[in-house]
Amino acid sequence: MPVQASYLFVIFVWSTTPLGIVWSSETMPPTLSVLLRMMIALVLAGLVVAISKIRVPWHRRACTLYLYSSLGILGGMSFSYLAAQTVPSGVISLIFGLAPILSGLLAQKLLGEAKFTPIKMFSLAMALGGLYLICSTQVLQFNLAPLGLGYVFLAVCSFSLSGIMIKRVKVEVHPMATTFGALLFVTPMFACVWLLLDGSIAMEHWHMKSVWATVYLGVVGSLLGFLAYFHVLQRLSASTVALSTLITPGFAIGLGAWLNNEKLTGSLLFGAAIIIFSLAMFQFGEHINWHRLSNKQAVK
C-alpha cells in the first residue's frame, strides 16, 4: 500500500478510535475490552503472517522494536480506556493533539534534534493555554474528575515516547511483522493488567454496541491501524506522523456529537481552535515569510 494511503487510513482510524473506546467500555470492564481487542488483532495478524509467509525476525534489534512498540500500545491504550469512563471522545482526541509537540520535546533529548525555535515555543504556550481552557471547562461545567483528564495526558505521553523510541531502533522489519511482534508482546501484558485490576467477565451486562465496537477496534483500530501506523512510521519522520493529530480532533469531535450526543460548548470549541491553530503554527510557522507578510499588510 502506498505510504500516502496508509497515512490517510491512520487519520481515519485515529478519528474513530476515541468513540470506539467509549462505546466498547460502556458495558464491558475497560481492561477486559482492551484485552479482547488485542486478542482479536493478534489472532488475525498471526493468520495473515502465516498465509502470506511474511518473515518475522526475532533477533535482538527486532525484539527491541517490538518491545518499544508494545510499551507504547500498553500505556496509550490502558490510560485511554481508563479515561473513556469519564472523558468524552472528542476531548480525548483533542488532548492527543498535543502529540506532535510532546514528540518534538522528546526528540530533542532522545534523537538529538534541534531545540525549539521561538515560534515553536510560542506554539507550545498556545497549546497549553488551549488545553487548560478545555480541561477547566470540562471539570467545572460537566463535573468531570481531573483524574480522567490526567489519564489522557499519560496516554499521549506513552504514545509519543514510543514513537521516538521506535525511531531509535535502526532495523528494517516488514510492517505486518512489526504489528504481529508488538501484539505478541503486548497481549500478555494486557492479560496481566486485566487479572490484577479486575479479572471479571460479566457477559450478562454486555450490550451489542460494546461488542461490535470491540470487534471494530480489534480488526480496524488495532490490526489494520497498527499496520498502517508502523508503515508510515518507517517511511516518515515521527513529527510528520504525529501531524495527523492536527486533522483528527475535528472529525472526532463531530463524530462524538453526532453519534454519541456529546455536548459542544463555546469554551470547548474555542479551546479546540486554539490547539489546532497552535499545532499548525508548530508545524508550518517557520516556513512562513513573516517579514514579507507584514510588508504586504502595511501596503494594504
Model pLDDT for residues 270-296, shown as the tens digit of each residue: 888 888 888 888 877 776 655 555 555
The pLDDT of residue 235 is above 80? no
Q: What are the tens digits of pLDDT across the range 156-185? A: 999 889 988 988 888 888 888 998 999 999
CB 89 within 8 A of CB 252: yes
Task: Give the rounded percent of residues in the chain with a pLDDT score beyond 70.
Answer: 92
CB 181 within 8 A of CB 66: yes
CB 101 within 8 A of CB 279: yes
Domain boundaries, the chain: 3-287
Q: What are the tens digits of pLDDT across the range 236-259? A: 765 566 567 667 888 888 888 888
Q: What are the tens digits of pLDDT across the range 74-130? A: 999 999 999 988 888 888 888 887 887 888 888 888 888 778 888 888 888 988 888
Residue 39 pLDDT: 95
Residue 199 pLDDT: 85
Report CA-CA distances (Å) from 184 to 48, 67, 120, 133, 255.
Answer: 14, 10, 38, 40, 32
pTM: predicted TM-score of the whole model, two decimal places: 0.82
The pLDDT of residue 150 is above 70? yes
Show the cell assigned to 149.
483528564
